[in-house]
Amino acid sequence: MRAQDPAGRGHRQVVGADVRAVRPGGERDVQPVVDQADRPRGAAEGEDADRQVVRLPIRDRVLRTDLHDAEPGRQGVPDDAKDVTAGAGVGDEMESSERQHRDSFSDMKQVRLGRTGLKVSEICLGMMSYGDPAWRDWVLDEEAADPFVRRAVEAGITFFDTADVYSLGASETVTGRLLAKYFTSRDDYVLATKVFSVMSDKPNDAGLSRKHVLAGIDNSLRRLGVDHVDLYQIHRFDPDTPVEETMEALHDVVRAGKARYIGASSMYAWQFAKMQHTARAHGWTEFVSMQNHYNLVYREEEREMLPLCADQGIGVIPWSPLARGLLAGNRGRGNERRTTRSANDAFSNMYTDDDFAVVDVNAEVAAERGVASAQVALAWLLSRPVVTAPIVGATKLSHLDDAIAATELTLDEKEIERLEAPYVPHPVLGH
């Protein structure tokens, strides 16, 4: 699949799992960066060992990347393969299906976050779905969220992502309580949260000023009930605050022991590069991760951001890996909405009927494999070398089970080519 480069310099092509720039004549403009020390043992030069080998030693897995959605529906799954507990309560579903999942998924791979020494599970549970239902209709309260965190922990998920703005703080509160319940030690899981979004109508309760960053981390730690987070992320770029002010404040958060690492979220590649350069020039803490908008129907990040992250060793942890549930079958053509969330999702207009060509092929591959469409879409994302762990949200246990199962699904080259072929370029979305 090729998409016209917006600058007119040529075409962007995805070959196998590598992001490459290709001039119109076919000559490669940018070669994928492969660290010889990071290639799995026994892999020949040029071989995509991550795609060929389902399980690799932890030390050999490098650069693998919210779903802030709940992905309803399991499009592409035969009726006899769907949850036998459909219609049962969450607790009943948990009890009846617990045994068949625990043994299969308890050894989920732990991978490095970019070039850091930090290990995270290759699926991150997005906690946006848990908090205060008064904030959004589809949000689950603490009691309803409990089985999801339990299932995640039993499956080997150790990476959890939230933000101060989710349920206006209630998500952090629920996250902190449930993680304390299911982990005996704070060191056994990786906790990420974010700062930037508007928290109130007060003038300094938003953005990336020094005042808000320092107040934001203290408020998040209080709600989470911990003395530090592992990854403190800026939720967006703040054009109203000097980059130097933001990066120094984040550095001071790390120096104070309140965060171990810092990360960024959706922005233009030049903005990310500018912030990294500023930190490096002053000897301040640099970002180690990028939480961006990336999935099978939105691949514009392959033009600039992902090559930058690959070159710099930045871990990529995409939000909306199922395109707000589009790739899981939560809506149809003509703006048909099939779930509560898809009916009132403020981001749902990011995708159009043109994207259903990709959705249809994804469903076809899933049907051929006898798995849920969500599994195929996530398996494709996990096949990208630069992706560390997609952030997956779930409001049904089947959503979480599909994400876990995707880590065991390896797509072949022909399947990947079929999935990528119908892609339609988009304007920049999600910033």
So which residues are the catalytic ones?
Answer: 166
**CA geometry: angle 248, 254, 260, nearest 5 deg:** 140
Is the Cβ–Cβ distance between 171 and 127 less than 8 Å? yes
Q: Cα separation of 358 and 354, whole Å?
A: 8
In the 8-state DSSP scheme, what is residue 319?
B
Closest CA to 33 of 314, 307, 383, 288: 307
- Residue with token string 């150790």: 158
In the 8-state DSSP scheme, what is residue 321?
T
What token pair was written down for 207?
């953005």
Q: Cα separation of 344 and 354, whole Å?
A: 21
Closest CA to 169 of 221, 212, 125: 221
What phi and psi, each to the nearest 5 degrees, are found at residue 236? -160, 175
Q: Cα separation of 256 and 260, whole Å?
A: 10
What token pair was written down for 128?
């946006």
Q: Cα separation of 33 and 419, whole Å?
A: 24
In the 8-state DSSP scheme, what is residue 32?
P
What token pair was written down for 422?
């119908």
What does DSSP say about strands 28-30 and 18-22: parallel, antiparallel, or unpaired?
antiparallel
List of E strands, 54-117: 110-112
What token pair was written down for 317?
């942890």
Is the Cβ–Cβ distance between 161 and 317 less than 8 Å? yes
Closest CA to 365 of 353, 377, 354, 348: 377
- Within 10 angstroms of residue 99's Cβ, the number of other Cβ atoms is 9
Is the Cβ–Cβ distance between 330 and 341 less than 8 Å? yes
Query: Partners of 393 in the beta sheet?
Result: none
Radius of gyration over every alpha carbon of the chain, rounded to an integer in angstroms? 20
The three-state secondary structure class of 339 is: coil
Q: Cα separation of 42 and 388, whole Å?
A: 22
